Structure 1
Amino acid sequence: MELKASEALPPGADTNYAVWKCLNRIRSGVGRAKATLAKWGYLNDGDVVCDCGIEPKTMQHLLICPLLEKPCTTSDLAEFNEKGQQCRRMSSPGGLEGNMTQLLLSRDRFTLAFIKNLIMVLIWLLLSYINGSLVATFFRHQTFYEDPRYILFIHMVINDSIQLTVTITLFLLSYIFYRINVSLCCFFILVAVFTTRNTPLNLACMAIERYIAICEPLRHTQICTVRRTYIVIGMIWFIGAAPDITDLFLTLATESMSFFHESVSCLRQNVFKDQILAQKRLAFDAIYFSCVFLTLVFTYLRIVFAARALSTDKMSAKRARKTILLHGAQLAMCMLSYISPSVEIVLSSIFPGRRREIRFANYLIVFILPRFLSPIIYGVRDKKFRKYLKMHSCRVNVKMIVAPANRHDE
């Protein structure tokens, strides 16, 4: 960028020296960004990611960082207008690190922030009520907890409830505190990742159970026992947790203990910083989702062929086929969490003034919407479960009506 020679001082010259110095650093493109400090040897290469979590924090990235209200240009810096001033605040020493709460509040007006948080709390209450009703119905009737099919289902409901609670808690904390203790952040991230990974594995196991019930009906009771079902659930948690537990051990080995007493923006890349971990995670996820996807395709095709060959019980095969299709839709939604960052970047470049809305919509679609499918697949579609769920709902309603009447009679 070139500034024309003039006897008049350029915009920003009337500010204090610290502001003036920072402004000229970002105008020249040479400042104390994380990437520059790493290049000079003051930071590790794994510590250069911006707090937005998208890419390294360079002086060029500061002009287009999603944490800005609007992208900043070199003309904005030269004129030192509102965009230039906000960009200067982000590039100043301690800008993102020291004033993140202020920046966060400036991104969303109070009314908008209140509406978003209210929506999330209402969604959590609604899903907690639905899932709570499903869990209560399951444990009130012995016919369910002796059936592997419903055991796997209720495990997924409980797993999704935990995942929903943790992610919404992190969402609320991002508005209230933004920066939290690293140790607490580790706990939240690991639980969220474990439960997110468990869902596709649970879907694959449920599809296999339906495949055995339709294609091997005489051996179903021998293969799918209650004891084996609980062993499978233990294996689901082990497979889902093992990759990230190794990440935690590596972080404990490479980071000083003081790091776990610091406060950070609770993003995965801010806690597990090593680039090797990110590459390992990508490789594992590719293998992991490929196996689950192939399992669903295999079971679906086998059930289709079995339905054509069977002269009886075609209705059960048809229902099983539709159930696995819904599992596939749920898996596709789960996989969105791995491509959503790239989609968010593309949409933000197309609609630069709508970053906050894009991020919020992305969160609802990727993390919340799939959690509505579990109650639909079994709580509504399954005749047996729907029958007992209605009985439970009627019983609760009767108690709510009778209890006030009894108090009135007393």
Structure 2
Amino acid sequence: MADNNSLVGGESLMQKISKQVIIFQGFIALFLCVNLSLITTFFMRDFFYTSMRYILFANTLLSDSLILILTNMLFICSYFHFTMPMWLCIIIYIVLSLYIFVTPVTLTAMTLERYVAICMPLRHGELCSSRSAIHSILIIHGLSSAPCIVVLSIFFSSASLSFYTQYSACSVEIFILYRWQEHLRSAVCQFYFLIMYITIIFCYVKIMKVAKSASGENKKSSWKRLRTVILRGFQLMLCLIQLWCPFIEAAIFHINVMLYINVRHFNYITLYLAPRCLSPLIYGIRDETFFLALKYYVLCGFVKNKVIIKRVC
């Protein structure tokens, strides 16, 4: 039987895997640096943290950054076959399962905010104040915690006390003790998927009607906001598909282990990294006010552009 470290096309399999890990770390470091710059910009001006749209944006950045850090830590532990005590794994699972839902629920709330801004402009100041944003974040975390509570409640009632003292590789599969638990978790995820996508489609249709009937500068602004909703819908789709990853990967694991590893790497890049680089694109770059502020602070104020100074200061 051939050794795993045998040369394949001039380099060993271990070298290839090591390069993949290094590339992953490079991407994650880049995304975290971008997110840190955006979060810093958010807190530098009171205009941003008194506006609902930017408060929700900052919530997605914090959620995405936390998910990237934790999933990367689990990825490294899995790659090097590290184990951890189950009590620590449970804590990581609680945080991850919460914030994996926080991002798509927040994206849905941001879409609703755009719907109010375009279709109900006279009530936007009343419904989308900074006070409403704080209430929205509490509601978002409450809704996002429901699936985690369901899974863990069943798990705690089924697991033996000796389980918590064991050491094992940390993954979501260890919390699924029975087949029906997996079906229940899948049903909860699909229910959330359905509700959030119905909301996105409803807002899209309403905003599109307003965009078609608008004229002049209002028409241009409405179509720009409509494109933002489309981008957010695509981002939400990627975030929601990742909720199905554990079920897809579990099925593939029983077919072929090497295919399972490749699929897991693919899912990690396309469904965990990709959606989280769209948030900086949608608001950090496409939003002119935020982009000018970001540019000003990243360059430490050395570029004395009059437009930047007027918008930021």
Regarding TM over 0.5, the answer is yes
Query: Would the alpha carbon gap of residues 357 and 332 (structure 1) be closer, same or farther in structure 2, given more than 3 Å must change?
Result: same
Q: Distance in 2 between matches of 1:394 and 1:349?
A: 52
Q: CA deviation at 1:336?
A: 2.3
Q: CA deviation at 1:261?
A: 1.0
Kindly indicate whether the alpha-carbon contact (under 8 Å) linking 1:348 and 1:358 is maintained by their aligned counterparts in 2.
no
Q: Distance in 1 between matches of 2:131 and 2:209?
A: 30
Map residues 122-161 of structure 1 onto 2, 5 A cutoff. 122-161=26-65
Whether 2:164 is the aligned partner of 1:164: answer no
Map residues 39-54 of structure 1 onto 2, 5 A cutoff. none
Look up the SS of the partner of 1:297 in the other structure: helix
Kindly indicate whether the alpha-carbon contact (under 8 Å) linking 2:49 and 2:55 is maintained by their aligned counterparts in 1.
yes
Q: Distance in 2 between matches of 1:356 and 1:259?
A: 26
Bigger share in helix = 2
Q: Which residue matches 2:232?
A: 327
Kindly indicate whether the alpha-carbon contact (under 8 Å) linking 1:330 and 1:373 is maintained by their aligned counterparts in 2.
yes
Q: CA deviation at 1:267?
A: 1.9
User: Comparing 350-359 with 291-300, which one deviates more in the overlay?
Assistant: 350-359
Q: Distance in 1 between matches of 2:140 and 2:188?
A: 15
Q: Which residue matches 1:218?
A: 122
Q: Which residue matches 1:305?
A: 209
Query: Would the alpha carbon gap of residues 259 and 335 (structure 1) be closer, same or farther in structure 2, given more than 3 Å must change?
Result: same
Query: Would the alpha carbon gap of residues 203 and 126 (structure 1) be closer, same or farther in structure 2, given more than 3 Å must change?
Result: same
Map residues 173-184 of structure 1 onto 2, 5 A cutoff. 173-184=77-88
Q: Which residue matches 1:363?
A: 268
Q: Which residue matches 1:387?
A: 292
Map residues 236-255 of structure 1 onto 2, 5 A cutoff. 236-255=140-159
Of 317, 321, 330, the residue aligned with 2:222 is 317
Q: Which residue matches 1:378?
A: 283
Map residues 8-407 of structure 1 onto 2, 5 A cutoff. 82=1, 109-312=13-216, 313-340=218-245, 355-395=260-300
Look up the SS of the partner of 2:215 in the other structure: coil
Quote the RMSD (CA, aligned, Å).
2.7
Q: CA deviation at 1:346?
A: 8.8
Q: CA deviation at 1:111?
A: 1.8
Q: TM-score, normalised by structure 2?
A: 0.86
Q: Distance in 2 between matches of 1:320 and 1:209?
A: 11
Q: Which residue matches 1:34?
A: none
Query: Would the alpha carbon gap of residues 238 and 352 (structure 1) be closer, same or farther in structure 2, given more than 3 Å must change?
Result: closer
Deviations 1:260-294 (A, max 9, x none): 11012222121342333322212211211111001
Deviations 1:164-206 (A, max 9, x none): 1110010011123443211111122222221111111111110
Query: Would the alpha carbon gap of residues 225 and 200 (structure 1) be closer, same or farther in structure 2, given more than 3 Å must change?
Result: same
Kindly indicate whether the alpha-carbon contact (under 8 Å) linking 1:179 and 1:265 is maintained by their aligned counterparts in 2.
yes
Counterpart of 1:153, as a letter, is F
Look up the SS of the partner of 2:299 in the other structure: helix
- The higher radius of gyration belongs to 1
Kindly indicate whether the alpha-carbon contact (under 8 Å) linking 1:182 and 1:271 is maintained by their aligned counterparts in 2.
no
Kindly indicate whether the alpha-carbon contact (under 8 Å) linking 2:173 and 2:246 is maintained by their aligned counterparts in 1.
no
Q: Which residue matches 2:307?
A: none
Q: TM-score, normalised by structure 1?
A: 0.66
What are structure 1's unaligned runs of at least 5 residues? 1-81, 87-107, 399-410
Q: CA deviation at 1:244?
A: 1.2
Counterpart of 1:319, as a letter, is K
Q: Distance in 2 between matches of 1:189 and 1:346?
A: 21
Counterpart of 1:143, as a letter, is F
Query: Would the alpha carbon gap of residues 274 and 130 (structure 1) be closer, same or farther in structure 2, given more than 3 Å must change?
Result: same
Kindly indicate whether the alpha-carbon contact (under 8 Å) linking 2:41 and 2:293 is maintained by their aligned counterparts in 1.
yes
Counting matched residue pairs gives 295
Q: Distance in 2 between matches of 1:256 and 1:348?
A: 26
Look up the SS of the partner of 1:145 in the other structure: helix
Q: CA deviation at 1:343?
A: 5.8
Q: CA deviation at 1:238?
A: 1.0
Kindly indicate whether the alpha-carbon contact (under 8 Å) linking 1:182 and 1:260 is maintained by their aligned counterparts in 2.
yes
Q: Distance in 1 between matches of 2:135 and 2:189?
A: 23
Kindly indicate whether the alpha-carbon contact (under 8 Å) linking 2:204 and 2:226 is maintained by their aligned counterparts in 1.
yes
Kindly indicate whether the alpha-carbon contact (under 8 Å) linking 1:179 and 1:266 is maintained by their aligned counterparts in 2.
yes
Q: CA deviation at 1:128?
A: 0.9
Q: CA deviation at 1:303?
A: 0.6
Q: Distance in 1 between matches of 2:295 and 2:285?
A: 10
Q: CA deviation at 1:237?
A: 0.8
Query: Would the alpha carbon gap of residues 109 and 261 (structure 1) be closer, same or farther in structure 2, given more than 3 Å must change?
Result: farther
